[in-house]
Amino acid sequence: MKIVTRKKVVVISIFLSLLLCFVILLSITIGSVRVPFFHSIKIVFQSVLGLRVGGNETEQTIILSLRIPRILLSGLVGAGLSVSGATFQALLRNPLADPYILGVSSGGAVGAIIAILMGLSSPFATPLFSFAGALLTVIAVLYFGKQDGKIHPNTLLLTGVIIGSFLSALIMFFISLSQKEELRTIIFWLMGDFSFSTPQAIFIILPYILLSTFFLYLHSRQLNLILSGEENAVQLGVDVERLKRITYLFASLITAASVSACGLIGFVGLIIPHSVRLVFGTDHRLLIPSAALVGASFLIASDTLARTLLAPIELPVGVITAAFGGPFFIYLLKTRKVIKTL
Amino acid sequence: MIEAKSICFRYRKEWVIEEVSFRAEKGEFIGLIGPNGSGKTTLLKILYRLLSPQKGEVLYDLTPLRRMKQKEIAKRIAVVAQETYHLFPFRVIEIVLMGRSPYLGQVIFESKKDLEIAERVMEWTKVLSFSERSIDELSGGERKRVFIARALAQEPEVILLDEPTANLDIHHQVDFLDLILTLNRERGLTIVMASHDINIASEFCDRLILLHQGRIYKTGDPHEVITKRNIERVYGCQVLVDQNPISGMPRINLMKKGIQNKSLERD
């Protein structure tokens, strides 16, 4: 009988991990500065294996300090946003839900813009302010969105959307006050930007995204139950209030960490969970790991295109995710029946 | 055994359930009847603690429901509610396996034993042949059987049914209720069924509870409850009550207004 078993999840995850490795290697070798394919591969393996890295020093810097941190960060964010989006879709029982729907991203943006306007803009301060702004929003939405101590998905959704709109108004207000140089930084931040990726940023957000994903995965079976309604989940013995609180907090934490590291990257968190669902089914025990791996591959590939397509000009990665992801999603939607029977 | 002890419940200001007490013994088949808004569905929801009464309490084998974990309740009481909307539809086997959830706790994957139980209950409910299909591709009768299978996978002692025959044609109504009756008679499952269909309740249930404006108006075997007087008082429309000539159970007949008047004249 075709059901999701541990074995199936492991096999598909290994397969998708191989795909991810392939995308990573490919992305390392592509860039605006040409580094010959085999040089790149050699540099990667030498540094991974802890050997002395030989060859051209410029090539080393490009690969090890520029491309690899950027690839790892975009992979991490892509995985995080996909897991967070899938969780919000289940929690809010709304197919339009994405990681940003509850205003967490706007909170993060306000924080980052405040840092920029205060002249504190740095690879360290901006993410910190952004993370603080995002967390405050998470708490505010939960506080105002609760009714008699309970989370009602629709009330939470409305509260989140309204707080998000309020924060967007603040963002526009700040933009109208800003100077030309600040404006550019702000706009780039709002469109999502990996060009400042540092190894530190990766290490800071890694535990948030990894641990939150782990805890969400522990509840993946319960997420299946709540998808057909809370009453259903109660009938099957789920403590739904606890489940809603936990999933809301961890999914928001992932969003907050992602936004603080690279700004707002749209579309990934909406489309990857849906695409993966169309191919692998609705079961969150399979959906969460596959969405993470596919999301990572997708955002790495998108960012690679963003930095190379019109090189030396860099496109905002959001342009690529929407321009390539959209048509691909429509294609999946149209061929859904075929894919399902595979 | 499940027992309600003078429970009262309100959503906002007005009480929708008032001083309701009854007891369902092990192996009983109880029908909850009453007009729209009389509190049938609310009462069922209280019985599995989706809602908690403001006054009174529900006991399961003498243990108050409010002291039990939701998981422990779900191991004993299964629910087949009215249709819910499936946002991202699951397949039949996936839904039936969900019935194993109370036994899995924090475990993420079902064991071989869970799968065996699922297959067994799917055989009983005759859904095994379409176990790979998606729930939104099935007919109303098939869907109902899938949810009975899910309930059985919980290995419960009590099954609560909310309007199980609504939207089913008569063939599927009888099929479904025969299945329930078999489970009740052969496996000793306690059944509490809320129904709009008085005749079905009369035909299949051991005992009926007639609710009226949140209170129990009358309880007893179908002969005691389904009388012209009770039904007309509670439902506020005139009916003719006779007996099913074969089973001997009381049966109501609806009439349009003109015919009612004629029969009244003759009385």
Q: CB A237 to CB B102 under 8 A?
A: yes
pLDDT at site A337 = 52
CA-CA distance, B122 to A188, in Å (whole number)?
56
- Say which residue, A76 or A279, is predicted with more confidence: A76
Q: Is the CB of residue B193 less than 8 Å from the CB of residue B205?
A: yes
Nearest CA in chain B to A236: B74
Query: Using alpha carbons only, what angle is made at residue B265 by residues B262 and B266, rounded to the nearest 5 degrees?
Result: 90
Give residue B261's pLDDT. 59
CA distances from B261 to A93, B256, B266 (A): 52, 9, 9
List chain A residues with CB under 8 Å of B84: 228-229, 231-232
pLDDT tens by residue, A157-168 = 999 999 999 999
Asked if residue A342 has pLDDT above 70, the reply is no
Residue keyed to tokens 């002249």: A119
Which among A116, A151, A113, A124 has a CA at the least distance from the CA of A252?
Answer: A151
Q: Between A and B, how many residue pairs show a Cβ–Cβ distance under 8 A?
A: 93
State which amino acid sits at residue B12: R
Of B99, B108, B119, the CB nearest to A220: B108
- Find the residue in B nearest to A1 (Cα): B132
Beta bridge partners of B58: B4
Mean pLDDT of A264-278: 91
Nearest CA to CA, how far is B218 from chain A (Å)? 29
The residues near B252 (Cβ < 8 Å, ≥ 6 apart) are: B198, B199, B202, B226, B231, B239, B240, B241
A74-133: pLDDT as tens digits? 999 999 999 999 999 999 988 888 999 999 999 999 999 999 888 887 777 888 999 999
Residues 6+ away with beta carbon under 8 Å from B200: B165, B173, B177
pLDDT (tens digit per residue) in A152-208? 999 999 999 999 999 999 999 999 988 888 888 888 888 888 877 788 888 889 999
Contact A237 B79 (CB under 8 A): no
Instruction: Please give the backbone phi and psi of residue B160, each rounded to the nearest 5 degrees, phi first.
Output: -100, 130
| B131 CB within 8 Å of a chain A CB | yes
Which pLDDT value is given to residue B264?
55
Cβ-based interface (< 8 Å): residues of A facing B: 1-6, 93, 95, 217-218, 220-222, 224-225, 227-229, 231-232, 234-239, 277, 281-283, 285
| B85 conformational bin, left if phi > 0, alpha if psi -120 to 50, beta if neither | beta
Interior/surface letters B209-222, b for 16+ CB within 10 angstroms, e for the rest: bbbbbbebbbbeeb
**Residue B225's pLDDT is what?**
95
Please give the Cα distance from B95 to A228 (Å, whole number).
10
Find the CB nearest A277 among B48, B88, B97.
Answer: B88
Complex-level ipTM = 0.88
Nearest to A292 by CA among A91, A96, A75: A75
- H-helix segments, chain B: 40-47, 70-76, 92-98, 101-104, 112-124, 140-153, 170-187, 198-204, 222-225, 228-235, 257-266
Q: How far is CA B30 from CA A95, B75, B227, in A?
A: 40, 20, 18
Find, among A246, A312, A249, A273, the residue nearest to A33 by Cα.
A312
Residue type (1 letter), B109:
F
Residue contact B115–A283, C-beta within 8 A:
no
CA distance B105 to chain A (A): 9
Residue-range domains of chain A with CATH: 6-341 (1.10.3470.10)
B85 touches chain A (CB under 8 A): yes
Q: Averaged over A271-288, what is the pLDDT? A: 92
- Shortest Cα distance, chain A CAs vs residue B61, angstroms: 18
For residue A339, pLDDT beyond 60: no
Taking the Cβ of residue B57 and every Cβ of chain A, the question of whether any pair is shorter than 8 Å is answered with no
Mind listing the pLDDT tens digit of every residue in chain B (267 residues)? 899 999 999 998 899 999 999 999 999 999 999 999 899 999 999 999 999 999 999 999 999 999 999 999 999 999 998 877 677 788 999 999 999 999 998 899 999 999 999 999 999 999 999 999 988 889 888 999 999 999 999 999 999 999 998 888 999 899 899 999 999 999 999 999 999 999 999 999 999 999 999 999 999 999 999 999 999 999 988 889 999 999 999 999 988 777 665 655 554
Residue B132: which of A2, A221, A237 has the nearest Cβ? A2
Beta strands B207-212; B29-33: pairing state: parallel
Q: For residues A199 and A226, which has the higher predicted lDDT (pLDDT)? A: A226
The verdict on B115 touching A (C-beta cutoff 8 Å) is yes
Report CB contact under 8 Å: B74, A220. Answer: no
Domains and CATH numbers, chain B: 2-266 (3.40.50.300)
Q: Do A6 and B86 touch (CB under 8 A)?
A: no
Residue B262's pLDDT is 60
Cβ-in-10-Å burial (0-12, 13-18, 19+) of A4 comes to buried
Which of B109, B135, B161 is the best residue to mutate to test the A interface, defined by the most A CB atoms within 10 Å of its own CB? B109
**Contact with chain A for residue B261, Cβ under 8 A:** no
Q: How far apart are CA A141 and CA A156, in angstroms?
A: 7
pLDDT digits (tens, 9 = 90+) for A286-308: 999 999 999 999 999 999 999 89
Sign of the CA dihedral with A293 first, then A295, A297, and A303 last? negative
pLDDT of residue B73: 95
Q: Which of A232, A237, A281 lies at the smallest CB-CB distance from B70?
A: A237
Give the burial class of A268: count Cβ atoms within 10 A of its Cβ; 0-12 exposed, 13-18 middle, 19 or more buried. buried
pLDDT tens string A243-252: 999 999 999 9
Evaluate whether B20 touches B214 at the Cβ level (below 8 Å). yes
Quote the pTM value.
0.89
**Strand bridging mode B2-10 / B55-60:** antiparallel
A235:B48 CB<8 A: yes
Minimal Cα distance from A280: which residue of B? Answer: B90
Q: Which residues of B touch A95 (CB under 8 A)?
A: 87-88
What pLDDT, on the 0 to 100 scale, is given for residue A109? 93
Is residue A199 within 8 A of residue A69, CB to CB? The reply is yes
Return the pLDDT at A43: 81
| Confidence band for A340, pLDDT divided at 50, 70 and 90 | very low
Structure tokens at A96: 């339009």
**Phi, psi (degrees; rounded to nearest 5) at B205:** -90, 150
**Phi–psi pair at A231, nearest 5 degrees:** -60, -40
* pLDDT, position A341: 35
